[in-house]
Amino acid sequence: MKTKGGLILGLFFLLWAIPSMAMEPVKVRMATFTLGSSWYVYGALMADILRNGLPKGSTVDILPHAGGVGNPKLVYGGEAEMALGFNVTAKWALEGKLAYDKKMPTLRGLVGALDEYFVGIVATKKSKITSLAEIAEKRMPIHLVTVPKGGMGEYANQQIMEAYGAGYDEIKSFGGKVTHTSFSVIAKMLVDGRADLFMQVITVGHPAMTEIATTTDVTFLSLREDVVKKLSQYGWIPATIPAGTFKHQDQKVPTVGLTTNLITTDKMPNDLAYAITKAICENQETLSKGHAGLKSFNPRVAWKAENLGVPLHPGAERFYKEKGLMP
């Protein structure tokens, strides 16, 4: 009787696990970013993994465009089945705010916490800025430089400076100015003393910030705890830049950050979402060897709301619960 019961139980679990194995071949398009970008490399790595994890004959195409702000639009509009995104912009897209003029309620998350980004903030020592708070307090006529409007780094500038009471309009009222330009121009302006303050979404080893820290006498500025909490309304999460990440940055720097996620919509079949999530999470070592940015990927927190920005897809949820990664 025990043997029969064991066989029945074993058959039950086998049948429960079969759907992803029994799927027909699928065609999946993944939106990433431009050729040569970290996200394009992420996508190529994941595509290789998925070609082995999906039914034989499946195809995974990498779309090298759009990026953090544009990718949710591609997925929501059906131009891609899934995409790399940011937890922050995914939340904005879901709620239809800031970079998005309409809500995208069908967005769903598969995998979060793939890497770690920080908002790095530097002031030239020549500017005598020692904290962001003093800019409004002293009505300092600073020159803030940012990347072009519409990018994540520029949104970070807006939101952080407004949280300190020194938004773009206030800076101009203090006699200062705000310039939006490219990384190469920003670096030269800081070196030449034509700009005072710069902040950008960065990773460890970020080329532009590495160049600035190496060639310019700058101070890395931190964010106050109350400001970090205030910025959470936009989806930013607390983060700390480890000491020694950049030249002359001897102390850890409390700031906010974001993380790359993998998103889709509720139109993706549960079995396919399960298979994709399983393949990515069970190949952590392959991902970390393929790109340094993925070394921090931890499947144990990949399902958490703050790391996705959108509701978890039911198919992905099934995987995390099956593996005991979520309650």
Q: Return the CATH number at 61.
A: 3.40.190.10
Query: What was the pLDDT predicted at 65?
Result: 82
Same domain, 177 and 248: yes
Kind and range of the H or E element at 209?
helix 207-215
| Residue 13, domain member (yes or no) | no
Same domain, 197 and 231: yes
Same domain, 150 and 207: yes
Query: What was the pLDDT predicted at 22?
Result: 57
| Residue 275, domain member (yes or no) | yes
Same domain, 175 and 230: yes
Kind and range of the H or E element at 22?
helix 2-22
Same domain, 123 and 251: yes
| Residue 6, domain member (yes or no) | no
User: Which of the listed residues 220, 255, 290 is the one where a domain comes to its end?
Assistant: 255
User: Which of the listed residues 206, 240, 255 is the one where a domain comes to its end?
Assistant: 255
Query: What was the pLDDT predicted at 18?
Result: 39
Same domain, 152 and 229: yes
Residues 55 and 266: their CA atoms lie apart, in Å, by: 21
> What size, in residues, is the chain?
327
Nearest 5°: the CA angle 196, 198, 200 is: 175
Does residue 102 sit in helix, strand or coil? coil
Residues 239 and 253: their CA atoms lie apart, in Å, by: 8
Find the largest Cα–Cα distance for the chain.
86
Same domain, 111 and 232: no
Same domain, 131 and 242: yes
- Residue by residue, DSSP assigns 144-199 as EEESPTTSHHHHHHHHHHHHTT--HHHHHHTT-EEEE--HHHHHHHHHHTS--EEE
| Residue 37, domain member (yes or no) | yes
User: Which of the listed residues 207, 240, 255 is the one where a domain comes to its end?
Assistant: 255
Same domain, 83 and 127: no
| Residue 16, domain member (yes or no) | no
Low-confidence ranges of the chain (pLDDT < 50): 1-21
pTM: 0.80
Q: Measuring CA to CA, which residue among 265, 299, 284, 274 is closest to residue 54?
A: 274
Residues 73 and 80: their CA atoms lie apart, in Å, by: 9
Total structural domains within the chain: 2
| Residue 9, domain member (yes or no) | no
Tokens of 310: 């959108």
Same domain, 187 and 211: yes
Measured from the Cβ of residue 74, the count of other Cβ atoms closer than 10 Å reads 20
Same domain, 40 and 108: yes
Same domain, 38 and 148: no
| Residue 7, domain member (yes or no) | no
Burial class (CB in 10 A: 0-12, 13-18, 19+), 65: middle
Give me the domain span that covers residue 197: 118-255
| Residue 12, domain member (yes or no) | no
Query: What was the pLDDT predicted at 16?
Result: 38
